[in-house]
């Protein structure tokens, strides 16, 4: 109903384009760009848009995409058609399979979500924004010349490259349930980006199969990237208490040692309880507490989306996290406003659907207190080699 006031003393920008939401990966595919429509509906029903600078994002240019990706790969992405022949390139680039299908408007989709992340990063560089948000981005698996895990273009890498133009050190944090392998690999050999991913790890039994605690960077001490990759591998069912404790502990130590001048937080919502692909038991409150902690550091912050396969839970989390960014705190009406478009999607077992109550049966927590403490000990040791 009522619009929310702009935060005092800082600026939040929201970068989006409804064109992105209209793309379809295919009926059986878990990635639904339409979840962004649901999130936007919630954000606007709460009146949060009036508290932010809102930008209609534009497609990234081929030149901008070439900052990370190879020209041959981008050419192929651009010309790939739905009924592509079984040529060699489609194999090389990992396109056209079940995970990364070729669908109508694929290149437009990729350039649009990337344009939004690049614009958001530039607003942080100029100081026009203190927190910049692109919920359509966060596609952390894409490689220089290879699609992977529903990701074709790595908008996060492109955004960090923009930030590195003005920032000596960027901290990347990834709370998606999957390992942020594409971002880690892109900055493997530099000490200007510290990457931190928290994820489920079970060897090859969970995608993408990497992200063990011992994976800390290049083996050679001569390589500046040594020790600059941090991995937090977890088992099924971690709850808010453990997750938030671990997040604050690890991120707090990273900020102390590395002194980042910008932070990118990938807010993949598949770490929430009840996710179709995820395995954790994190609630909207716990997921949001990670965003609140990053905000409290008062360092320019880029928030991007990522995974998230139970659409109404994704919408809840990202609407809640938008409210944290603009500082309209918990007084935000917990009952989803009557006039929310698609409000019926949020109606399950209550007559008053709320923002925080997500769907999904609790999963038993397979993470012992000792395991979590041992992870912190190991990362404390690793960070002795990291400095500003
Ligand atoms: N887990 C999982 C999963 N499910 C699917 C899938 C299911 C149905 C479809 F119609 C299409 C795909 N693929 C996977 C994973 C990829 C997960 C990607 C997560 C992305 C992110 O959230 O981190 C960021 C946006 N793929 C695999 O496990 C690979 C396979 C090994 C098994 C599944 N088949 C379909 C492909 C090969
Ligand atoms: Ca992760
Ligand atoms: Zn994921």
Residues whose CB falls within 8 Å of the CB of residue 370, separated by 6 or more in sequence, listed in order? none
Residue 285 falls within a domain, yes or no?
Answer: yes
pLDDT for 334: 76
Residue 3 falls within a domain, yes or no?
Answer: no
CB 134 within 8 A of CB 120: yes
Identify which ligand lies nearest to the alpha carbon of 156.
Answer: 1
Whether the per-residue pLDDT at 287 is higher than 70: the answer is: yes
- If you average pLDDT over residues 303-325, what whole number do you get? 97
Residues whose CB falls within 8 Å of the CB of residue 79, separated by 6 or more in sequence, listed in order? none
Q: First vs last Cα of the chain: how many Å apart?
A: 46
DSSP letters spanning 332-350: S-SBPPTT-TTGGGG-SSS
Residue owning the nearest CA to atom 27 of ligand 1 = 207
Rg of the Cα trace of the chain?
20
Q: How confident is the model at residue 355 (pLDDT cuts 50, 70, 90)?
A: confident
Residue 19 falls within a domain, yes or no?
Answer: yes
Residue 387, class by beta-carbon neighbours within 10 Å (0-12 exposed, 13-18 middle, 19+ buried)? exposed
User: Percent of the chain beyond pLDDT 70?
Assistant: 96
β 131-134/170-174 pair status:
unpaired
Determine the atom of ligand 1 nearest the C-alpha atom of 140.
24
Q: Give the CATH number for residue 157.
A: 3.40.800.20
Residue owning the nearest CA to atom 2 of ligand 1 = 277
β 301-304/131-134 pair status:
parallel
pLDDT for 289: 97
Supply the ipTM of this predicted assembly: 0.97
pLDDT for 80: 83
In the beta sheet, which residues pair with residue 202?
A: 204
Residues whose CB falls within 8 Å of the CB of residue 85, separated by 6 or more in sequence, listed in order? none
Reported as a single tens digit per residue, the pLDDT across 215-268 is 999 999 999 999 999 999 999 999 999 999 999 999 999 999 999 999 999 999
Identify which ligand lies nearest to the alpha carbon of 199.
Answer: 2
User: Percent of the chain beyond pLDDT 90?
Assistant: 86
| Residues of the domain holding 377 | 12-385
In the beta sheet, which residues pair with residue 133?
A: 14, 303
Determine the atom of ligand 1 nearest the C-alpha atom of 28.
10
Cα distance between residue 126 and residue 244, in whole Å: 31
Residue 7 falls within a domain, yes or no?
Answer: no
Reported as a single tens digit per residue, the pLDDT across 77-124 is 999 877 666 677 777 899 999 999 999 999 999 999 999 999 999 999
Q: Which residues line ligand 1 (CB under 6 A)?
A: 28-30, 98-99, 139-141, 149-151, 176, 178, 207, 268, 270, 277, 306-307
Residue 350 falls within a domain, yes or no?
Answer: yes
pTM (2 d.p.): 0.97
Pocket test for ligand 1, best of 35, 207, 304, 309 (most atoms within 8 A of CB): 207
Q: What is the 78 CA–ligand 3 centroid distance (Å)?
A: 25
Among 326, 358, 240, smallest CA distance to 289 is for 240
User: Which phi and psi angles does 6 have, rounded to 5°?
Assistant: -65, 145
pLDDT for 348: 67
pLDDT for 331: 47
Residue 2 falls within a domain, yes or no?
Answer: no
What's the domain count of the chain? 1
Among 103, 32, 21, 79, smallest CA distance to 309 is for 32
Of the listed ranges 72-76, 129-133, 316-320, 329-333, the least confidently predicted one is 329-333
Q: What is the 381 CA–ligand 1 centroid distance (Å)?
A: 34
* Residues assigned a catalytic role: 179
């Amino acid at each position: 109903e009522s619009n929310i006031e702009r935060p005092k003393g800082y600026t939040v920008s929201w970068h989006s384009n409804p064109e992105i939401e209209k793309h379809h990966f295919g009926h059986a595919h878990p990635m639904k760009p339409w979840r962004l429509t649901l999130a936007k509906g919630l954000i606007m029903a709460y009146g949060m848009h009036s508290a932010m600078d809102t930008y209609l994002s534009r497609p990234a240019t081929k030149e901008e995409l070439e900052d990370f990706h190879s020209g041959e790969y981008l050419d192929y992405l651009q010309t790939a058609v739905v009924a592509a022949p079984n040529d060699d390139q489609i194999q090389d680039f990992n396109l056209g399979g079940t995970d990364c299908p070729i669908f109508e408007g694929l290149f437009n989709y990729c350039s649009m979500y990337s344009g939004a992340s690049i614009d958001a990063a530039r607003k942080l560089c100029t100081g026009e924004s203190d927190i910049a948000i692109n919920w359509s981005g966060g596609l952390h698996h894409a490689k220089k010349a290879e699609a992977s895990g529903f990701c074709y273009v790595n908008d996060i890498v492109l955004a960090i490259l923009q930030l590195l133009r003005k920032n000596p050190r960027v901290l990347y944090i990834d709370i998606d349930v999957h390992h942020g392998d594409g971002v880690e690999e892109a900055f493997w050999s530099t000490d200007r980006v510290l990457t931190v991913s928290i994820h489920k790890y079970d060897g090859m039994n969970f995608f993408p199969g990497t992200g063990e605690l011992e994976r800390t960077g290049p083996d050679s001490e001569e390589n500046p990237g040594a020790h600059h990759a941090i991995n937090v591998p977890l088992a099924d069912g971690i709850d808010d208490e453990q997750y938030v404790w671990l997040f604050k502990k690890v991120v707090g130590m990273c900020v102390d040692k590395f002194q980042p001048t910008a932070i990118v937080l990938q807010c993949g919502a598949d770490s929430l309880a009840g996710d179709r692909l995820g395995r954790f038991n994190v609630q909207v409150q716990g997921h949001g507490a990670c965003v609140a902690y990053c905000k409290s550091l008062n360092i320019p912050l880029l928030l991007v989306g990522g995974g998230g396969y139970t659409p109404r839970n994704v919408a809840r989390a990202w609407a809640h996290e938008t409210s944290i960014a603009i500082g309209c705190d918990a007084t935000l009406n917990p009952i989803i406003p009557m006039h929310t478009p698609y409000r019926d999607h949020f109606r399950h077992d209550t007559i008053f659907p709320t923002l925080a109550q997500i769907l999904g049966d609790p999963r038993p927590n397979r993470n012992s207190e000792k395991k979590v403490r041992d992870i912190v000990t190991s990362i404390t040791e690793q960070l002795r080699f990291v400095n500003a």
